Structure 1
Amino acid sequence: MNGLVQRGICTELKVPQNIAYLLNDGVTFFLTGYKVLQSQEKRGFVRCARLMYNGKVELVYFTSAYQPLSALLPKIGIHTFMQILVNLLGKILEVEANGFLDCHNLDLSVDKIFVDADTHSVFLIYLPVSVPSDDPGNANFENELRADLIRLIQSTPNFVSPTMAEICTKLADGTMSLERLCRFLTTRTEKNSKPCGKGQPPLTFTAINAPETVSFHITTPEFVIGKNAAAVQGAVTFNRAISRVHCKITFAQDRYFVTDLNSANGTFVNRTRIEPQKPVPIQDGDVVRLANSDFMVRISGGDAE
């Protein structure tokens, strides 16, 4: 995105609370990309609206519900940052896989990466324009991204540790794809996750009558499930109807909850569909359905309530 500003494709406007860009040439506006962006609003993009300003297209991004990563860095630890980094790379990989979106149109400056402070979900600003690119295969984009992340880690005092040094080494390894890097970070995040806290019994989430064995042993306060292995802790790949990021299981107030993450085909608890983004209690013996696949909940020691 910074490159688009430098090339004169757009100009950033100062607006209260939110962020806006003015397209200097309306011809560059990509309507199909804008429509895709709207349909993906709940999948990690900051909500956007198109307006007209002095005869030019203005794109306003509503960021007030989130916190910029730059504001969170002094407050978070290494484990939380690793979770945010996994979510960030997962979103970038989704953009690369989308035939209508272009990674070069993302604004990945540290004050333009937005985070839900409660869930650590990442929300990105994407500018729907169509301009020629001199970076086939996104090689330059990925190199700049890696370099920016290394600089960010090395300039954050509370990130000085062997773990972060190892991550910087992996980022600097150009032979390691972003997908492999995301998987590595996911594994490191799981290894560094705290075991069950006092009063938190382990929960096992096991597929029923599935074509392959899938079972997750959950011991952390939050565990995200979906079919995109790069973006979740528990990957379910045998059912295309399950969303890339489908639901999450959380432990709070001495009980477990399941929350639907705006999945396409829904999450059900004992055959009752639950509302998106509203945690619903689950207990030992419950059956949770993701789309049309059932999973048995088992909590060590019986009921978690």
Structure 2
Amino acid sequence: MNALIDRGIIKEIASGNNFEYIITGDATFVDTDYKVLQSQSNDIFVKCMKITRNGLVDLCYLGNDYRTLAGMLPGLSLENANTIVAEILSCITKVKTNGFLSCQSMVLDKEKIFVDPNTMKVKMVYVPVSEKLFSTMTEFEEHLNNIINEISPDFDMADIPVVPQQVYVSGNTGNLLGAMKLTACDAPYPFEIRITEDDVLIGKKADLVDKVIDFNSAISRRHCRVIKQNGTFFIMDEGSANGTFVNNVRVEMGQKQPLQQGDIVRLANSEFRVN
């Protein structure tokens, strides 16, 4: 069930597996989400097009090339059920690491989760409006668990194929004596930044910084700087759009915040542990 429909915020018009969401209630269309959605649609989401109907924003979703999860569940083999669950979890992981989109705006409804019957590839539906379908991530996770249990009650996370990965290290490792490491807590793959120099610039634009973080678009091109003075490491924000935080306290522009073993550094919405 779509909570936005229940609350009268959007109205649905369906034609087969194609459908429209018309924004009718107290919510606003989020253009930034929509633009990101367009760039991601071929990989994660059902294709969405924005039109105007009688002065209202109308979001058109094209799902006719797929089958709904609800239509596939009867008679679904255990192998295919586990594949679909793994696909759903993969989509959610990509949204979490995207940096702009929110899982709370994803539709978790068997009628709105679409599957390619030949490959079991999953396409999700995202609603780019200011009101969220789920008020908290806890609510989202609970609903997700219910969906997973319905698809494959005995699903085990160990059923997801895992490709062994080495830790990706950004930049030259250098001599580790007297060095500091920022180890990613929530990256899509094992990742760490090893800092051996006295002045290191960190961001997502390779030709502007010394250490590159390429898995989160919410991180600025020049996001922060780590310096070493008298044996102590400090972090400074470089005017980033989404902020630099140490233990959930924002580092203001021009501030020099000391780092200690075990501190949690957050760049935008990506967390790193100081080692």
Report the TM-score, using the length of structure 2 for normalisation. 0.55
Taking the aligned partners of 2:50 and 2:39, their CA distance within structure 1 comes to 14
Relative to structure 1, the CA distance from residue 146 to residue 81 in structure 2 (aligned partners, 3 Å threshold; closer, same or farther) is same
Q: Which residue of 2 aligns with 1:15?
A: 15
> 1:88·1:122 contact (CA, 8 Å) conserved in 2?
yes
Which letter maps to 2:143? E
What are the residue-to-residue correspondences of 1:201-240 with 2, within 5 Å?
none
Q: Which residue of 1 aligns with 2:143?
A: 144
Taking the aligned partners of 2:22 and 2:73, their CA distance within structure 1 comes to 29
Structure 2 residue 57 is the aligned partner of structure 1 residue 57: yes
Q: Which residue of 2 aligns with 1:186?
A: 160
> 1:25·1:56 contact (CA, 8 Å) conserved in 2?
no
Unpaired runs of at least 5, structure 2: 163-167, 170-186, 190-212, 216-275
> 1:26·1:56 contact (CA, 8 Å) conserved in 2?
no
Q: Which residue of 2 aligns with 1:207?
A: none
Taking the aligned partners of 1:134 and 1:107, their CA distance within structure 2 comes to 9
Which letter maps to 1:142? E
Unpaired runs of at least 5, structure 1: 154-158, 171-180, 191-209, 212-226, 230-239, 243-305
What are the residue-to-residue correspondences of 1:70-89 with 2, within 5 Å?
70-89=70-89
Q: Which residue of 1 aligns with 2:115?
A: 115
Taking the aligned partners of 1:35 and 1:24, their CA distance within structure 2 comes to 21
Q: Which residue of 2 aligns with 1:5?
A: 5
- Determine which structure has more spread, i.e. the larger CA radius of gyration: 2
Q: Which residue of 2 aligns with 1:174?
A: none
Q: Which residue of 1 aligns with 2:99?
A: 99
State the Cα distance separating 1:16 from its structure 2 match: 5.0
Taking the aligned partners of 1:109 and 1:70, their CA distance within structure 2 comes to 9
> 1:30·1:130 contact (CA, 8 Å) conserved in 2?
yes
> Cα RMSD over matched residues?
3.4
State the Cα distance separating 1:15 from its structure 2 match: 3.2
SS at match of 1:125: coil
Q: Which residue of 2 aligns with 1:250?
A: none
Relative to structure 1, the CA distance from residue 45 to residue 132 in structure 2 (aligned partners, 3 Å threshold; closer, same or farther) is closer
SS at match of 1:111: helix
> 2:108·2:143 contact (CA, 8 Å) conserved in 1?
no
State the Cα distance separating 1:97 from its structure 2 match: 2.2
Relative to structure 1, the CA distance from residue 113 to residue 133 in structure 2 (aligned partners, 3 Å threshold; closer, same or farther) is closer
What are the residue-to-residue correspondences of 1:30-69 with 2, within 5 Å?
30-69=30-69
Which letter maps to 1:186? I
SS at match of 2:71: helix
Relative to structure 1, the CA distance from residue 39 to residue 16 in structure 2 (aligned partners, 3 Å threshold; closer, same or farther) is same
Percent identical residues:
33
Which letter maps to 2:138? A
> 1:44·1:121 contact (CA, 8 Å) conserved in 2?
no
What are the residue-to-residue correspondences of 1:162-201 with 2, within 5 Å?
164-165=153-154, 167=155, 181=157, 184-187=158-161
- The C-alpha deviation readout for 1:163-202, integer Å capped at 9, x for no partner, is x43x3xx6xxxxxxxxxx4xx2314xx8xxxxxxxxxxxx
> 1:67·1:116 contact (CA, 8 Å) conserved in 2?
yes
State the Cα distance separating 1:129 from its structure 2 match: 0.8
Q: How many residues align?
A: 176
> 1:49·1:59 contact (CA, 8 Å) conserved in 2?
yes
State the Cα distance separating 1:26 from its structure 2 match: 7.9
Q: Which residue of 1 aligns with 2:222?
A: none
State the Cα distance separating 1:5 from its structure 2 match: 1.6
